[in-house]
Each structure stands twice: as structure tokens, then as C-alpha cells.
Amino acid sequence: MSYDTNLPGDPAPRQDAAVPVKVSRVFDSCSDRDCLTNVPVILDAGELPASVQLVKCKCVRVQDVCMRLEPVPFNRGFYNIDLTFTFRVELLCYDHACDTPQLMAGTVYASKSCILYGSESNTQTFSNNGYSIGTTNSCCEAVNLPTANVQVVPPLALETKIGSVCKQCPGDTVPQTMRTVVMTLGLFSVIELSRPVTLLVPTYDYTIPTKECTADPETPCAVFDRMRFPTEEFSPLTLSDSAPACGCTDEVYGS
């Protein structure tokens, strides 16, 4: 996309003085890979039927992330971030290996924590749209926590197997076990702590795009004739030619 930085009558592009902009500055961040081992699946249907002898993971995704920030004692500006991930899982359950599977769904919970620097601020900000930053505690002190953000990619189902978890019912003196699915998940994540700040940045004058908005006048067949023939689609790659897989496919199966 190209832009014309000249105003009518200007011989050359000109740069104005710096202007203040409101942005969210990242003070600290970290990336991590977590192998979440032997996490039980809380099935929507309750206990896994006794007839099921084999399970495979059809799909797993991150449904929600709950975050809690707490200042680290004696380390001003640092915060402990507790994260609880909620995964939704779809499973293929087989009574026998070659039978038609039944689809079952469930939820997986996993937690982790980290410490990042988020700076300090004793200010409160109020906007006319109702948005506010910072609160006041009972001692009339302003509490202004940074904002935590977490980015994740679709998790990898590394292992899916049948297992059991303890089930304690009211009145039970001896813990009981419940048949369910146990998974091992691989998760890549990036966690950030940020605050809104005002920065000065150099700017150019207001401009308009030089590219015209036009529709392609050619016929669909003319456009198709210019496309390159997809030779690689008719020549399957060998293992040495393939790039390493990254992320989830439509179906990810454990062992």
C-alpha cells in the first residue's frame, strides 16, 4: 500500500513535530512451552462407559484463560501471575478398534504461574465511556495493577489414554475411583504485562492513498489462465522434503 505524503503545492514530503499518542506499553514478557502430563478429562456425560476400550483425541482447543495478579512482596514492580487454562476436548471412543466411534466431549483444567515486571503506578484513570483504571482500597491507597495478556496457539494432544480419578462423594469414608480419559497436552504460550502510557512519536501530514479502487475487468477464465499450474500438488513430498509440523491439524491423535 502506497501513500502520497505531499500536500497540494508541497515540493517534498515534510515532517511535523512529534505528537502524543496513547498506547499500551509492554514492560515485560516471557514465552514458554508446557507439557501438561496426565491431566484428567471431565466428561460432559460423567463416567466413561465400561464398554469403551480405546480413545483418540479428535480436537482440543483453549476455551478460556483465567488470570490473577498479585504483587510480589519485597520486590516492587514485580507481579506473580496465576493462570488457569480451560480446554475443550472432543474424543473418539471405540468399543473395539474397528468399530464406528462415538463422539464424547469434556473439559480439561491446567494451571501455571510466572513472575514478570509490570512497573508501578498510583494513579487512577477515568474515561467518559465508563472505562476506568485503578481502584482504591480501604486505606484510601490507589491500586493500579498492570494488564496481563496471554497468547496461545492450538494445543497439541501428545497422549490420550483411559485412566481413572478419585471421586469423593458426600458420606463416603473410602475414596472411590471413576473411569475417565487422561491426556498429555503440549502448550506454547506468550505472557505479557502492559500499562497505558503516553508517548511522543514523529508524524507526517494527513495523506490519502494513491492506489485507485478498481475492479478487475477481466473474465474469470482470463484470471484462471494466468494462475501457475500447481505441479507440487500432483507430486507428493517425501519425508526429507517435508517441513517440520507445527501446531494442530484438524485431527490430532494420541497413543
* Amino acid present at 233: E
Mean pLDDT of the chain: 82
Q: What's the rounded Cα separation, in Å, for the pair 75 and 121?
A: 14
pLDDT of residue 187: 94
- Which of 23 and 217 is assigned the larger pLDDT? 23
For residues 228-236, give the mean pLDDT: 81
pLDDT band at 252 (very low <50, low <70, confident <90, very high): very low
For residues 47-71, give the mean pLDDT: 92
Give 36's contacts (C-beta < 8 A, 6+ positions apart).
Answer: 110, 183, 184, 185, 186, 187
Closest CA to 28 of 81, 70, 65, 74: 81
Give Cα separations from 87 to 1, 49, 61, 84 (angstroms). Answer: 39, 22, 6, 10
Helix (H, G, I), strand (E, B) or coil at 233: helix
pLDDT band at 5 (very low <50, low <70, confident <90, very high): very low
Tens-digit pLDDT profile for residues 74-90? 888 999 999 999 999 99
pLDDT of residue 17: 77
Q: What's the rounded Cα separation, in Å, for the pair 60 and 64?
A: 12
- Which of 245 and 20 is assigned the larger pLDDT? 20
